[in-house]
Structure 1
Amino acid sequence: MGPECRRPGRGAPRADPAPAGPGLTAYHIVDWRRQFNNYTDRPQSGTLVDATGQLRFYPVARYSTNLTNDRAEYRQLENEVGVMGHTPTVGYRLYGRYRRASLFSKSYQDQSYPLPTPAAPRNDIIQPFDLRYGQIFLGGTANFRYRSLVAVETAGEILGPQLAGTGTAFSEYWLRATARLGPLSGEFYSSSYSPTLTQQRFDGNHYNWDHLPDSSSAFKNTLVNQVTGRLSQRLGRHHLDASVRFVTINDLVYYNQAAEPAQLDSVKVLLIGTLRHRFNLGKFFFDNQATGTLGGEGEGLRIPKLVANGRIYYQDYLFKKAMFSQIGAEIYFQSRFKGYDYNPTAQQFYLQDHFSIRSYAVADVFFITDIKTVSVFLKMAYINQGLYNTGNGYFATPLYTGLPRRFQFGIRWQFFD
């Protein structure tokens, strides 16, 4: 997607739940989703092994040396019921959510496992596992505001007893508390969460692991605590936003150099600083932001030390305010770091130590126009490719290049005004 151009004073319509009484609103949300992943590797000639009998790319072939066909399907149904209310100074929301979900995988198999010599042909689809579970979440939010000077907000959610499947009651939660006094604000965030379903269980032709709660190699929950301080101040045409975050991560689950999930024994400590400066000179607007991170290297986590983004554009009405347009340029910079490698079988990124992604910058120019309910954008991306010493391309991840210079066009039509 390209940058977004929005006519001042215009926004999307909002549908509010029906009130259940003075200052009280009841609501019900039903959400169903399905996600299907399929990885297939069928060589155009030959098999997955070379002339010497060695696999060409994968560490092992568990079900077939002729082809790989691994599938996983996740289905989820959620019902959320809650109440909300507000007064001029206080607002709240309380809710309960029930989640019913399932995850199963299938793989093509044409030989028995462990592999005999010679392999016995089977030629069928097997289903290594089928997981089903039900969960109850309880949560809420509350906020207090006094004019535009003081604001206090709290929000949280906890996982209740599971009605199906395995797990520990009240094992997951998140909590956030924010206080603001004038231009200064502070936030505390804490979360305890379980590994992802893929990190807990995977079974395919080339990888297999089991870290479910009832297994001998079960992972512990990851605990994240974060303290943030912010300053947001406007001085005439200048708007300054600055923040500092101190983060600790206990028992981080990540994908190691073997592309398999592992849990970090030590505590990861991050110090993250962000600075954003916005100002305008007439109808020319400037928006620059930089984020620096300390502690984002080593085992378990890889984050560039510096990421910056700068944007300059001209905006104005045209044709008697019938058209609102922007024209400008944007540049993104990222410092050198050992980026994550990619495992196409599990479709996950994992740590690697053999490839450094150099520092690079990507510049774009764009034009956006907003005509009543129609928005159109044109963008020439990566215009600096091959210019000066900026390089003739870059790597988004080891051996996967970023997109070259290209032209992008988009249109959005809202059927309401």
Structure 2
Amino acid sequence: MSDIDFDNVGFGTLAIHAGQEPDKLYGALATPIYQTSTFCFETVEEGTAKFGGQIPGFCYSRGGNPTTVALEKKIAMLEGGEACISTASGMGAVGGVMLGLLQAGDHVICGECVYGCTDVVLRTTLQKFGVEVTYADTTDLESVKVAIKENTKLIYFESLTNPTMELTDIAAISKLAHKNGVLVAVDNTFTPPPEVYPLKEGADIVLHSCTKYINGHGDVISGAIIGSTELITPIRKGVTSKICGTTPSPFNSFLILRGLQTMELRMARHCENGMAVAKYLESVPYVKKVYYPGLESHPQHEVAKTMMHENYGGIMSFELQEEINGMDGFEACKKVVNALKIASIAVSLGDPGTLVQHPASMTHANMSKEARAEAGIKEDLIRLSVGLENSKDIIEDFKQAFATLE
């Protein structure tokens, strides 16, 4: 296993083999679940050396566990980073980045449209601790440039915004940020490898809700923070394993390791189905607009072709007409969503099954109406995570649901 040149293999090979070797004790092919809270030492001297970091090893699973370390190595290699911290949730990753990189008196620039819970952390929690936050349109380089202050320490945004599906030029933002001594953190949940590689584009930190595409089976809550060893080590030592205590369970790490081995195949099907469904939705007269970077109608389609390597994923949003047969957009949304049979009403994404939700009343309900309006999250907007079913069946499901509006 150690003879594999991971710098010169394809994504699928990397996803299967990176970070994992047959168990040295019994030869188990699958990484064992080390379901233990603590680890024993042969001598006091050994324990002292491991706690002090003089020799490698494990002491207590909150600070490190063999199953989780295998996962962290794999995710770091998939993203092209030196180190990775696995967390108990996506918000654990967000909190780890914010508390690990910022202190009172610092200033953060955040993209206008981010996940609702992230928005709450930025608008309320961080400001309570003396961190100033400015929201800017990260698709507009000039808006970000104007927002930078002397105390700006971090620019934070999503590679593909949730749920408005706008792309940010990571390379351009990173160049601007580094010129001003500012770090860049990118939430890459919606566009994981092999779609977008933020670190290769110049970002300093990339984070994920591994609950979504990375695990891919809808049975784990998890997150990850990836970057250089220099940036990741203090976050692990002082934040995720201490003040936040967001260490994942070994069993969840095992499940994600399992899920990652089919990631290349899963993502190919998500992308294929996503394009088919997006093209269908664009043809529906009740649909006002479809937000999917793979469509030529998307205003950033040319950027998407380059940055996403023509892998456009399975996540999209679409708006209904403002008035449909006497119904306003929100009423029509509810009627369509409630009529779906294959697609489940659920707020996650990246599952094998197709999921649909209404952002304004679900994932982004914690945001004020004014904040949602600023972010472009309308009442008649539906977010769709296209699953791995046969695309014709997903489309037929939507056809029968739209028929209820007649």
TM-score tier after normalising by the smaller chain length: under 0.3
Q: Kindly indicate which of the two structures has a greater share of residues assigned to strand.
A: 1
Q: Kindly indicate which of the two structures has a greater share of residues assigned to helix.
A: 2
Structure with bigger RCO (C-alpha 8 Å, 6+ apart): 2
